[in-house]
Amino acid sequence: MGAVTSPLGVPERGKSRARGRLQLILILLVVLGPMFLATSMYKFKFWVPEGRSYHGAMIGNGETRADIGIDAQSEGWQLLVSAPQACTAECQQLVYLARQIQIGLGRDASRASHALAAAQPLPGDFQATLEREYPQLQRYPLDAQRYASKVTEPGPQLWLVDPHGNLVLRYDAKAKGKQVLDDLRHLLKLSNIG
Q: Is the pLDDT of residue 2 over 60?
A: no
The CATH number of the structural domain formed by 57-190 is 3.40.30.10
Domain locations in the chain? 1-48, 57-190
- In the chain, DSSP finds a helix count (H) and a strand count (E) of 5, 6
pLDDT beyond 70 at 142 = yes
Tell me the pLDDT band of 180, cut-offs 50, 70 and 90: very high
What confidence category does residue 57 fall into, taking pLDDT thresholds of 50, 70 and 90?
confident
pLDDT tens by residue, 27-50:
999 999 999 988 888 888 887 776
Whether the pLDDT of residue 10 is over 70: the answer is no
Please state whether the predicted TM-score (pTM) of the whole model is above 0.75.
no
Q: Is 8 a residue whose pLDDT tops 60?
A: no
Check residue 51 and give its pLDDT. 64
| 8 A C-beta contact, residue 79 and residue 112 | yes
| Residue 69: pLDDT over 80 | yes
Q: Yes or no: say if 186 and 108 are a contact pair by the CB < 8 Å rule.
A: no
d(CA 166, CA 177): 21
